[in-house]
Amino acid sequence: MMKKGGWISILLFVNIILSAYLIYSESKTQGFCIIGSTCETVQNSEYAYLLGIPVVWIGLISFTILLILFYLKENHNVLSWIYNIGIIIAGIYAFYFIAIQAFVIKKLCSTCMIVDTLTIIASFISILMIISGMKKHKR
């Protein structure tokens, strides 16, 4: 059975790949959709940008930094805290982006939903690891 940490690195790596492909597909006129056909609407909406920066670029950079921090955090308390805060913020933003798709845009991008779901799962696993670590230190 794979350790929790192994799952986190796989989830982050898949998000890096999907984000990179979304960036690649931006150069084409059609959005990239794994399933369905409403991705173009979501990927070209006003919510696809945060402070004028495409969210997909922010995702690619964030997932890459989180994966690097994940591997470097073991013996570095500061890096561990930065990773933990980063992955929790990423999970919160993933919930936000799902809500925007469902309730504001009223269209779901399957690719975006996969990225957001994997982010939430990675965040949840990380929170479980934080809680587990806190319990060990309490003993």
Instruction: For residue 69, give the nearest of 126, 116, 120 by alpha carbon.
Output: 126
Give the pTM: 0.89
- Count of domains observed in the chain: 1
* Residue 93 token pair: 């933003």
pLDDT, tens digit, for every residue of 65-87? 999 999 998 878 899 999 999 99
What does the longest C-alpha to C-alpha distance in the chain come to?
Answer: 57
CA dihedral over 90, 94, 99, 101, signed as positive or negative: positive
- Tell me whether residue 136 is in a domain: no
Separation of alpha carbons 15 and 9, rounded Å? 10
Percent of the chain with pLDDT over 70: 89
- Tell me whether residue 75 is in a domain: yes
pLDDT mean across residues, the chain: 89
Give the structural domain span for 117.
Answer: 45-131
User: What pLDDT, on the 0 to 100 scale, is given for residue 1?
Assistant: 47
- Tell me whether residue 119 is in a domain: yes
Q: What is the mean pLDDT of residues 104-114?
A: 92
- Tell me whether residue 63 is in a domain: yes
More confident residue, 75 or 108: 108
How many residues appear in the chain? Answer: 139
